[in-house]
Structure formats: structure tokens, C-alpha cells
Structure 1
Amino acid sequence: MKTNSNELLHQLGLITQSNMATATAFLDLGEVQLNYKASPNSWSILECMEHLNRYSAFYLLEIERHLVTSPTPTQHEFKSGVMGNYLVNMVIPKAGVKKMKTFASMDPSGSYLSRDVIIAFLASQDKLLELINRSRSANLNKAGIAVTFTKLIKLKTGDALRFMAYHNQRHILQAQRVSFNT
């Protein structure tokens, strides 16, 4: 995938703002609704949010570390890496997409959580917006951001930001589907 860097960052910012608006609306729900599960194997709204918080705890630190230690000039065009594009395409929400198994460390199943999970998610999204804005003066094509499942793969800055925004969007949509059934 090739795209204009500024347009990509603008789009990721819009996705993140939309995710935040939806998460903010979840704050109007009660604890029982937020922890409701349609089936024992499904996630509640708060479990979806906690899953995202666990990913944010890893990736936001990685992205920030990379931006601080690797100042590079802006490139006007972003070209996704093979692995980065593969990972992003796996998480982009689309009709008929199959469920994916998550890593045990990222699986919040069975947790009874409080609305503090949403507050933490909103704080992480503020941080993501900050990093998206800081990335406007960085080279999105520079690799160096680790992934959660192996130290052997390093994502380009643009791919890591894309993964975060689309992964968040995927699970926000999942959480919305739960809330419509409560």
C-alpha cells in the first residue's frame, strides 16, 4: 500500500477520534451492561476495551521510544512493509471477518472490570493522537517498532500506527455489537 503520509495520518486521527467518541458513549452504560456477555466465549464491552488497553500499553511505548530515538526527516509518501500490511489487513474491520485467537497475555476473558477500563482507554487514545501528530515530522517508512509476539519483526512507524488505529476500531465495533444486545 502506498499513500500520502499526511493523508494517512489524518485518516488515522479521524479513526481514533471516532473510537474515542464511541468509548465515551459507553460511559453512559451501567456496570452490568458493560460486563454483559452474550455467551460464555464472547467478550463484554469492558473486556474488548481491556484488550485494547493491553495492546496500547505495549505499542504506545514502542512507538514513542522509536519517535524519540529515531528522528528522521518527513517523507511525503508512505509505503507499507510486507509484514506490516499483512498485520493491518488482518485487523481491518470488514464484513464476514472471522474471529481471531488472541495471545493469552492480551486476553481479558473472565475479568469483571469497572468503567475505569474506559477511562484508561480514552487516555491511551489521547496518547495515540499525540503520537500521530508527532509522526507528522517523522519518517513513517522507518522501521524499528517491535511487535508483541516476536522480537524478530520490526514494523515501520506508519504500519504500527495503522495497526493501532484499525485494531482499536475492530474491537470498538465488537463492543458496539455487544451494547446493542443488552
Structure 2
Amino acid sequence: MKIFRIIFLCQIILLGGMMATAQSSLTKTEKNTALNHLKQSQAELIIAVKDLSEDQLNYKMSDGSWSIAETMEHIAISEKNIFGIVEMTLKTDPDPAGRSEVKMSDEQVLALITSRDQKVKTRPEFEPTNSFGSYTGSLDTFKALRKSNMLFVKKTKEDLRNRYFDFPFGKVDAYQVVLFMSGHTQRHMKQIVEIIKSEGFPKA
């Protein structure tokens, strides 16, 4: 009888260990927070670029700066490449032990990427090179990618909190990469607004 008790206890311990290492899906609140931010940043961008003429889309504040059309292309490229980071993390196993290395809160990640106080030169693969053929191509690509990415957030049961990526500013979890992607859209929406408000911007 004693041996059966020992076996039973071992099974309970083993099951508990399996549950502790099992994947943890995003909570409903986390999903709603990400989805609402993704919707908001897209809506703000669409409003910012609404009804702009060709001259306005291609206007540059200086020789080295981007036009609104180029900025839109960069946003579309980034939507693909940043979400690619999330997809890359899914190829790794969840690692709860790594959470101690994530030092920034969700709010801090968003505040960092949306701020225009510090300008950073983008990497070559994020540079606009007329990848989508036209401004309209860039905008349509962004919309399609954002729709697909939002559907992923809505449907996923993957553990995004215990998978990680190392940005230059520190380690974040895969859920925070989604927020970073949305915040990146807001950051460059602000850039577009700066161009529109600049002194030499063409009149409608």
C-alpha cells in the first residue's frame, strides 16, 4: 500500500512540473490591450495621410529627410519585419526563467518607441527603396499586414510572454514586440504630422 502511495505522489509532482512548464496563453486583457493599440495606431496613420496630393506625398523637408511616401513605405516594411521577430520567437520553446531579464514594462516599451525626442538611423533593410511600387502600394501592404497581424493576436494561443528578443535597448518578450510594432507606427505617424506642419509643405 505504501508503494502505491509513493507512486501516486510522484505522479502528482510530475504533473505539477508539467503544468508549471506548460505554455501560458495571453490573457483576454492582454489581447484587448494589444488589439486596441493596433487599431488606434492604424486609425491615426490613415487620418494623417488622408487626401494628400502627389506633391504633398513626395515633399521633403530637407535633402536627407524622407517624404511622406517614403515614410509610409518604411512603416509597411517595418510591419512585416517587426512581426517577423514575433514569428522567429515562436521557433523557440517558452522559457519562464528568462522573465527576470525583461526589465521594461509594456508602458515603458511603448513610451520609448513612440517618443520622437531621440532620432535613430534605421537599418538598411528598413530603408525605403520603392519596395511596393508606389505610395498606394505601400499603404495597401501596410493595411493587409496589419489585418493579418491583428488576426494573429486575436486567435493565438502561443505563449508570447515567455519568449524573448534582444533589442539594443534591452530584452523584451514577444508580446512587447507586438506593442513595439504598433508604437513604431505611431512614432512615424508623428513624423508625418511634422512634415505636414513644416513651413515649406505644399498647399492643398
TM score, norm. by length of structure 2: 0.63
1:116 paired with 2:133, answer: no
Distance 2:57 2:127 in 1: 17
Runs (5+) with no aligned partner, structure 2: 1-25
| 1:121 counterpart letter in structure 2 | F
1:32 paired with 2:52, answer: no
Q: Alignment length, in residue pairs?
A: 167
Q: How does 1:13-32 map to 2 (within 5 A)?
A: 13-25=35-47, 26-32=49-55
Which residue of structure 1 lines up, in the alignment, with residue 179 of structure 2?
162
**Pairwise CA distance, 1:58:** 2.1
* SS of equivalent to 1:115: helix
For the structure 1 residues 127 and 93, does the alpha-carbon distance in structure 2 shift closer, same or farther, using more than 3 Å as the test? same
Distance 1:109 1:179 in 2: 22
| Residues 91, 167 of structure 1: 8 Å contact kept | no
Distance 2:92 2:78 in 1: 22
Distance 1:12 1:27 in 2: 24
| Residues 63, 131 of structure 1: 8 Å contact kept | no
Structure (1/2) with the larger helix percentage: 2
For the structure 1 residues 79 and 42, does the alpha-carbon distance in structure 2 shift closer, same or farther, using more than 3 Å as the test? farther
**Pairwise CA distance, 1:126:** 1.0
For the structure 1 residues 144 and 80, does the alpha-carbon distance in structure 2 shift closer, same or farther, using more than 3 Å as the test? closer
1:139 paired with 2:159, answer: yes
| Residues 93, 163 of structure 2: 8 Å contact kept | no
Which is further off, 111-120 or 46-55? 111-120
1:126 paired with 2:143, answer: no
**Pairwise CA distance, 1:102:** 1.1
**Pairwise CA distance, 1:66:** 4.9
Structure 1, residues 94-130: CA drift from partner, whole Å, max 9, x if none? 3x61211111221227999422211111112112211
**Pairwise CA distance, 1:11:** 2.6
* SS of equivalent to 1:53: helix
| Residues 143, 157 of structure 1: 8 Å contact kept | yes
Q: How does 1:40-55 map to 2 (within 5 A)?
A: 40-55=63-78
Distance 1:161 1:168 in 2: 11
For the structure 1 residues 145 and 126, does the alpha-carbon distance in structure 2 shift closer, same or farther, using more than 3 Å as the test? farther
Taking only aligned residues, the RMSD between alpha carbons, in angstroms, comes to 3.7
| Residues 79, 141 of structure 1: 8 Å contact kept | no
For the structure 1 residues 118 and 91, does the alpha-carbon distance in structure 2 shift closer, same or farther, using more than 3 Å as the test? farther
| Residues 146, 154 of structure 1: 8 Å contact kept | yes
| Residues 110, 179 of structure 2: 8 Å contact kept | no
1:178 to 195, 198, 202: 195
Distance 2:148 2:112 in 1: 21
**Pairwise CA distance, 1:65:** 5.9
